[in-house]
């Protein structure tokens, strides 16, 4: 069945009966609403089932005249899908017979001549002006200009913010008081460039004032951001020199200059002969039948190192992922039984919904006094509406996938309130939710992934600093000539790899390839920080083109950006593994490189540890956060002679 969801309502919005300022004009008070039609399908009592609800494309804006004899309509609460964790939902639905709710425009109303309603899809532009108070005029695509509505008591900003959830609103280049309206499309919504609010040099100032926030907002689509944002508009004759941009970049993440200076304490080594790079063969993905062979009668996973080797070599077929990812992400212990996992899920379900209740039970009044929660919610709502919108699982407005994406991210804010939500985290959750198709399982797998990725999103960006330094060290070892070329082009900081590292290549690969890459990396094979070798493999494939064409700073950024969605994941994985084997075979490997890749680490093995094909010690109870975050990593810089 369908219900009409009132997503915005504000009383005391006036229409002036005469456009001039005559003293005898009437001020007609009314109520302004944005109404969405929502289709709801009730589900059974299984908490693992998703809410089957979706919003159609007929969001309607309406203004009706206030009337004393117009009683409030009853409120119908949203159906809950949380069964025993049923809770009051802050979203309410109002049933309403709306003659033109399915797309038509209505400029006159039987009750009074001023009332109007229109589908947001019919809206062309909005003019916003101020005369002590704000007033707004709507112009439709058929040329009709509706009566101006005056916000004598405020509320115009909240109205426009709500409207932005249904349509894209941009400032007109010709008139700053005019907002141009366009509906969302798949390509635009998924675009990384869509995340930018402006691309002029003014953003550089914001960059300097708040490097962390702006870096995550800008560097999550780093290459186009740098290539466009630091340039003057096309109509202007001048352009900021590349070296000025490079100098500014050097200020953004203090600490990276360690790579550029010859200071005491550097590890001085001669240029190494790494020897030939071996050929690597990959295999097909692990099938359901193969996966079953590695379980005993009680459900324990046996011979974990060998199974991880198979996953590393070929990944998983999609039918296995929902179960296998829970082990790879340490949600399920490898040695747990079926019964132990059922008890674990029940306990984790209770824990999840207790945290979810914390934010769902916050009233509007409470949220007004909690700026951090309010900011988290605002940023999550904005990011959810543009995460993987070309994927059918997240297609359309407010579909079940989007609702769950939003709720999991809000609940994560309760789980880790110090970190809360930072732009880019929705990209890490999206593939996990897609695979799990279950709110609770997706949340706890996401928690494990965030344990590993946490430092990427912390305010000091220590994780990003460390990884860029480590990547620079590896690249200089593998190809000093190429690294020297990048350094000569003011690109030695490797900022063009920032997006790769921040969200683990999520925006560089096709969605299915992201799933393959992540499950391979989650095996923790064939070495520590394998994702850095993936970066090296991509750069190795592109270095000749970059050097032969004599690309400079901007051209390198642009070229790397244009690799997005064009990369061959199997070729990359083969080359990454070959690079790892080549480094391992090298004699007199620099200590700094051994430390980065976790090679030749002296460890006292215990009975609980098993060794994989790659010589990695495996522990079934190892926590990703404790082993993979470089909490105490202090790189030993190298100078190549």
Q: Does domain 5-182 have CATH number 2.30.29.230?
A: yes
Answer yes or no: are the C-beta atoms of 118 and 103 closer than 8 Å: no
Residue that wins the pLDDT comparison between 105 and 499:
499
For CATH 1.10.472.80, list the domain ranges present in the chain. Answer: 261-304+456-600
For range 466-477, the mean pLDDT: 94
> How far apart (Å, rounded) are the C-alpha atoms in residues 159 and 8?
7
What is the secondary structure of 219-271 as a DSSP string? HTTHHHHHHHHTSPPTTSS----HHHHHHHHHHHSTTGGGGT---TT-EEEPP
Residues 6+ apart with CB under 8 A from 354: none
Residues 6+ apart with CB under 8 A from 70: none
For CATH 2.30.29.230, list the domain ranges present in the chain. Answer: 5-182
Q: What is the pLDDT of residues 19-31, one digit of tens each?
A: 655 555 678 888 8
Q: What is the pLDDT of residues 335-382, one digit of tens each?
A: 999 999 999 999 999 999 999 999 999 999 999 999 999 999 999 999
> How far apart (Å, rounded) are the C-alpha atoms in residues 392 and 54?
13
- Closest C-alpha among 585, 409, 403, 427 to residue 511: 427
> How far apart (Å, rounded) are the C-alpha atoms in residues 168 and 124?
11
Q: Can you identify the CATH homologous superfamily of domain 261-304+456-600?
A: Ypt/Rab-GAP domain of gyp1p, domain 3 (1.10.472.80)
Residues 6+ apart with CB under 8 A from 406: 380, 381, 384
pLDDT number for residue 8: 86
pLDDT number for residue 500: 96
Answer yes or no: are the C-beta atoms of 460 and 253 closer than 8 Å: no
Is the per-residue pLDDT at 600 higher than 80?
no
Cα-flanking dihedrals φ and ψ of residue 635, to 5°? -65, 145
Q: Confidence band (pLDDT; 50, 70, 90) for 273?
A: confident
Predicted TM-score (pTM) of the model is: 0.64
Q: State both tokens at 52.
A: 């089957």
Q: What is the pLDDT of residues 426-448, one digit of tens each?
A: 999 999 999 999 999 999 999 99
Fold for the domain defined by 317-451: Helicase, Ruva Protein; domain 3 (1.10.8)
pLDDT number for residue 421: 96
Q: State both tokens at 205.
A: 């100032």
Q: What is the pLDDT of residues 107-120, one digit of tens each?
A: 434 445 678 888 88
> How far apart (Å, rounded) are the C-alpha atoms in residues 424 and 500?
11
Angle at 572 between CA 473 and CA 507, to 5 degrees: 85
> How far apart (Å, rounded) are the C-alpha atoms in residues 129 and 521?
53
> Which range (84-98, 471-485, 623-637) has the least confidence?
84-98
Q: What distances in angstroms separate CA 264 from CA 267, 268, 324, 636, 637, one per listed residue? A: 9, 10, 47, 11, 10
For CATH 1.10.8.270, list the domain ranges present in the chain. Answer: 317-451
> How far apart (Å, rounded) are the C-alpha atoms in residues 39 and 54?
5
pLDDT number for residue 572: 98
For range 53-65, the mean pLDDT: 67
**SS3 state of residue 357:** helix
> How far apart (Å, rounded) are the C-alpha atoms in residues 511 and 499?
16
> How far apart (Å, rounded) are the C-alpha atoms in residues 491 and 489?
5
Is the per-residue pLDDT at 512 higher than 80?
yes
């Amino acid at each position: 069945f369908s219900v009409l969801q009132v997503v915005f309502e504000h009383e005391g919005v006036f229409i002036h009966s005469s456009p001039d300022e005559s003293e005898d004009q009437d001020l007609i008070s009314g109520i302004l609403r944005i109404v969405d039609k929502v289709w709801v399908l009730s589900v059974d009592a299984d908490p693992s089932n998703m809410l089957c609800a979706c919003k159609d494309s007929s969001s309607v804006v309406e203004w009706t005249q206030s009337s004393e004899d117009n009683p409030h309509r009853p409120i119908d609460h949203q159906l809950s899908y949380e069964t025993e964790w049923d809770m009051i939902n802050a979203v309410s639905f109002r049933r309403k017979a709306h003659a033109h709710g399915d797309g038509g425009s209505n400029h006159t109303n039987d009750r009074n001549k001023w009332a109007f309603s229109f589908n947001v899809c019919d809206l062309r532009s909005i003019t916003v002006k101020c005369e002590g108070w704000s007033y707004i005029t709507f112009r439709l695509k058929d040329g009709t200009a509706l009566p101006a509505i005056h916000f004598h008591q405020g509320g115009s900003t909240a109205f426009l913010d709500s409207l932005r959830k249904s349509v894209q609103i941009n400032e007109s280049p010709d008139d700053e008081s005019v907002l141009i309206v366009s509906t969302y499309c798949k390509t635009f919504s998924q675009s990384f460039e869509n995340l930018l609010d402006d691309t002029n040099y003014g953003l550089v100032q914001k960059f300097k004032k708040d490097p962390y926030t702006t870096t995550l907002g800008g560097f999550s689509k780093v290459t186009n951001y740098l290539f466009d944002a630091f340039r003057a508009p096309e109509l202007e004759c001048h352009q900021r020199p590349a070296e000025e941009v490079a100098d500014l970049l050097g200020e953004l993440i203090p600490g990276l200059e360690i790579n550029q200076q010859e200071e005491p304490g550097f590890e001085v080594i001669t240029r190494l002969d790494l020897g030939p790079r071996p050929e690597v063969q990959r295999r097909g993905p692990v099938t359901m039948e193969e996966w079953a062979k590695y379980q005993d009668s009680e459900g324990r996973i046996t011979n974990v190192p060998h199974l991880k080797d198979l996953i590393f070599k070929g990944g998983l077929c999609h039918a296995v992922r929902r179960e296998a990812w829970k082990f790879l992400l340490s949600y399920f212990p490898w040695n747990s039984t079926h019964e132990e996992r059922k008890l674990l899920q029940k306990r984790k379900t209770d824990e999840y919904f207790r945290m979810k209740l914390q934010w769902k039970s916050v009233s509007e009044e409470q949220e007004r006094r909690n700026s951090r929660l309010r900011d988290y919610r605002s940023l999550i709502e904005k990011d959810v509406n543009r995460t993987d919108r070309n994927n059918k699982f997240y297609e359309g407005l407010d579909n079940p996938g989007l609702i769950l994406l939003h709720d999991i991210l809000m609940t994560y804010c309760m789980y880790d309130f110090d970190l809360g939500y930072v732009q880019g985290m929705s990209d890490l959750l999206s593939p996990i939710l897609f695979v799990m198709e279950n709110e609770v399982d997706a949340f706890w797998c996401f928690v494990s992934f965030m344990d590993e990725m946490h430092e990427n999103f912390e305010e000091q960006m220590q994780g990003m600093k460390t990884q860029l330094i480590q990547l620079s060290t590896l690249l200089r070892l593998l190809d000093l000539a190429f690294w020297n070329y990048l350094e000569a082009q003011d690109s030695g900081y490797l900022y063009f790899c920032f997006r790769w590292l921040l969200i683990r290549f999520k925006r560089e690969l096709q969605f299915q390839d992201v799933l393959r890459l992540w499950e391979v990396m989650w095996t923790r094979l064939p070495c520590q920080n394998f994702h850095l070798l993936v970066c090296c493999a991509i750069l190795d494939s592109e270095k000749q083109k970059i050097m032969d064409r004599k690309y400079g700073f901007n051209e390198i950024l642009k070229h790397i950006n244009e690799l997005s969605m064009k990369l061959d994941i199997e070729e990359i994985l083969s080359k990454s593994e070959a690079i790892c084997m080549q480094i391992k075979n090298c004699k007199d490997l620099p200590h700094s490189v051994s430390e980065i890749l976790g090679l030749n680490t002296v460890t006292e093995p215990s009975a609980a540890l098993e060794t994989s094909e790659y010589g990695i010690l495996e522990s079934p109870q190892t926590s990703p956060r404790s082993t993979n975050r470089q909490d105490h990593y202090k790189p030993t810089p190298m100078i190549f002679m």
